[in-house]
Amino acid sequence: MTNSILKRARSDIIEIKPYSSARSLYKKQPDMIFLDANECGFEPYIGAENLSHYPDQQPAQLTDTLCRLYDVSSRNMAVTRGADEAIDCLIRVFCVPYQDNIIICPPTFAMYEHSAGIQGIEVKNAPLTGNFALDTNLIKKESDQNTKLIFICSPNNPTGNLMNNEDILTLCNSFKDTALIVVDETYIEYSKNGASVLPNIENTPNLVVLRTLSKSYAAAGVRCGSTIAQKDIIDLILKILPPYPIPQPVVETVSKILTSDNLQRLTDKRADLLNRKQRFITKLKTIDIVETVYPSDANYVLIKVKDSKTFVQSCLQNNLIIRDQSYQFKLENCVRISIGSESEMDKLLAIMRDEELPALPKQRIATVNRITNETAISVRINLDTQSPITIKTGIGFYDHMLEQVAKHGGFSLELECDGDLEIDPHHTIEDCAIALGQALKKALGDKRGIVRYGFTVPMDEALAQATIDLSGRFYLKFDGNFPENMVGDLPTDMVKHVFRSFAENLQAALHISVEGENTHHMVEGCFKALGRSLCQAIRRDDGDNDLPSTKGAL
Ligand SMILES: *Cc1c(COP(=O)(O)O)cnc(C)c1O
């Protein structure tokens, strides 16, 4: 059965024959030889894979993963370059220039109006009510026989609130033979109470849902959006997509983002972000210039301040960018703030309180991303602040040990590792130590002003001692025998290994000795002592910019 809403699509688009690209005629199979599209038979650089030939129009590997993510069938899915391209395509398929119109519900996302404008399509406004809810009666009133699309954003950008799904379905019913209801669910993953309207797709011929990896999957740089609707609508969109719209690197990157482990990681990170948002909102409410904090179901908050222009300007002077929404309908003096890291939010709060921001010396920050066949690691280190410290290696006891190093070292350390723990913890432990040493070396930079040497005192029943010289030369001396083979999930024969990899990559001389009876105490003592030594060695002497060496280089 054909979807009756198709009658509302542009008749010329329905008639037009899809451009048959070389790759749409014959899908890639391993033993096929393709001499049909003037591609090259060799890869563009050493180590490149699958780049020399055009990708499929809709790479199956990608659509399959996205369909699993959103729990929809592949016949209901079109993948585009971000949700932005989907908005453009929907207007193109349904609206006849200089004749048809769309309805938007301001204040809302600016792209609907922008795309319509580019294509010569009129935009009718059915503003949200006082508390930013849909005004379904007004939408019906504004519509006419040339209304083809109604855009609804839920949670709405920039107001941050969810729309009522029953209102949305009522609209679908009212317009079932005349207009598409396009529900932009870019931020739905952040909503605690929000349910997607996706389960209604099969029963609702004129419902279209937009999703994207940009905002809730931390992948705005990838440009990967999904349009989900009944098959006939999807087929029309696929018909007008540009040739080979999904670059091969996007396909491969998305497959790394959407592994089940990483999805769990992203869920945890979203939860952290929402907690940060809650703390930020609590603090916002104590600030003088803030008049209203609007409820938010997304990763940003909309606030009304006394004078948005001055506020945005003073942020800018401090190198902090927020978005003034005053130009939007009913949003005078409102600004939208994305939730960033704790220290970024603290900086913003300090600006709002008009506090004197200390002129900090340039912070020693470094990131290292180290990827091998065995492990993928990212490390971020800031030697001039003490938080955050978050360590996720997959080995609980090792996390705890690296935490000791950063905590007692007095620096911020964020380390994540995805390693081949199914084989054994060896690679993960060693590679994390390598990456940590590299990051520390990078953060120390030219080492000007540092103290260079570190010392420590013994602690606990176990006597652990670590001394370090950030000399630029590697040396390790390790004295210690652990009574047990394992401590927690960490093999103790790896402990010496960790210090070796770390010192070698930091290019430091490290002497560690430990004696005692309890393996847990002995191991923990070593890591704590290392932290304490580092704490002293990496400090910068006040006002001192000298190199602590007569050689002139370290
Ligand atoms: C950011 C945003 C988009 C754009 O998504 P892309 O997938 O990056 O193109 C779409 N809709 C809303 C409401 C947005 O805020």
pLDDT, tens digit, 9 for 90 and up, residues 264-318: 999 999 999 999 999 999 999 999 999 999 999 999 999 999 999 999 999 999 9
Quick one: which atom of ligand 1 is closest to the CA of 153? 13
Contact 79, 62 (CB under 8 A): yes
Q: Please list the alpha-helical segments (H only) found in 119-222.
A: 136-142, 165-174
Determine the pLDDT at residue 521: 94
Check residue 4 and report its DSSP letter.
Answer: G
- Residue to mutate, 79, 81, 84, ligand 1, most ligand atoms under 8 Å from C-beta: 84
Minimal-distance CA residue to ligand 1 atom 14: 186
Minimal-distance CA residue to ligand 1 atom 2: 186
Q: What are phi and psi of 180, to 5 degrees?
A: -85, 140
Quick one: which atom of ligand 1 is closest to the CA of 85? 9
* Diameter of the chain measured on Cα atoms: 85
- Enumerate the β-bridge partners of residue 300: 338
Residue 214 CA, ligand 1 centroid: distance in Å: 7
Q: What are phi and psi of 181, to 5 degrees?
A: -100, 110
Residue 422 CA, ligand 1 centroid: distance in Å: 38
Minimal-distance CA residue to ligand 1 atom 11: 186
Quick one: which atom of ligand 1 is closest to the CA of 109? 13
Residue 186 CA, ligand 1 centroid: distance in Å: 6
- Nearest residue to 252 via CA among 215, 219, 209, 211: 219
pLDDT tens, position by position, for the chain (554 residues)? Answer: 578 899 999 999 999 988 777 777 777 777 888 888 899 989 999 999 999 999 999 999 999 999 999 999 999 999 999 999 999 999 999 999 999 999 999 999 999 999 999 999 999 999 999 999 999 999 999 999 999 999 999 999 999 999 999 999 999 999 999 999 999 999 999 998 889 999 999 999 999 999 999 999 999 999 999 999 999 999 999 999 998 999 999 999 999 999 999 999 999 999 999 999 999 999 999 999 999 999 999 999 999 999 999 999 999 999 999 999 999 999 999 999 999 999 899 999 999 998 877 666 678 999 999 999 999 999 999 998 898 999 999 999 999 999 999 999 999 999 999 999 999 999 999 999 999 999 999 999 888 878 777 667 666 778 999 999 988 899 999 999 999 999 999 999 999 999 999 999 999 999 999 999 999 999 999 999 999 999 989 988 765 666 667 666 67
Quick one: which atom of ligand 1 is closest to the CA of 214? 8
- Residue to mutate, 157, 223, 227, 297, ligand 1, most ligand atoms under 8 Å from C-beta: 157
Strands, DSSP E only, in 144-298? Answer: 147-153, 180-184, 207-212, 225-228, 290-293
Ligand 1 pocket residues where CB is under 6 Å: 82-84, 109, 153, 157, 184, 186, 212, 214-215, 220, 225
Compute CA distances 150 → 102, 203, 224, whole Å. 6, 18, 23
Determine the pLDDT at residue 25: 73
Cis ω before 155 (30° cut-off from 0):
yes
Tell how strand 375-382 and strand 475-479 pair up: unpaired
Minimal-distance CA residue to ligand 1 atom 6: 82
Contact 150, 102 (CB under 8 A): yes
Residue 83 CA, ligand 1 centroid: distance in Å: 5
Measured CA to CA, the distance from residue 467 to residue 456 in angstroms comes to 7
- Residue to mutate, 89, 214, 337, ligand 1, most ligand atoms under 8 Å from C-beta: 214
- Residue to mutate, 186, 213, 224, 336, ligand 1, most ligand atoms under 8 Å from C-beta: 186
Determine the pLDDT at residue 544: 61
Quick one: which atom of ligand 1 is closest to the CA of 224? 7
- Residue to mutate, 108, 111, 162, 337, ligand 1, most ligand atoms under 8 Å from C-beta: 111
Residue 30 CA, ligand 1 centroid: distance in Å: 36
Residue 153 CA, ligand 1 centroid: distance in Å: 10
> For residue 121, what are its two tokens?
């399509």
Strands, DSSP E only, in 396-506? Answer: 412-419, 453-454, 463-469, 475-479, 486-487, 490-491
**pTM of the full predicted structure?**
0.84
Tell how strand 77-80 and strand 225-228 pair up: antiparallel
Residue appearing with tokens 């391209």:
85
Minimal-distance CA residue to ligand 1 atom 10: 83
Measured CA to CA, the distance from residue 330 to residue 200 in angstroms comes to 32
Residue 508 CA, ligand 1 centroid: distance in Å: 47
Measured CA to CA, the distance from residue 117 to residue 139 in angstroms comes to 20
- Enumerate the β-bridge partners of residue 80: 225
Compute CA distances 28 → 20, 32, 198, 235, whole Å. 15, 7, 31, 21
Residue 243 CA, ligand 1 centroid: distance in Å: 22
- Enumerate the β-bridge partners of residue 466: 512
Residue 184 CA, ligand 1 centroid: distance in Å: 8
Contact 334, 326 (CB under 8 A): yes
Task: Name the CA radius of gyration of the chain, rounded.
Answer: 29
Measured CA to CA, the distance from residue 499 to residue 483 in angstroms comes to 19
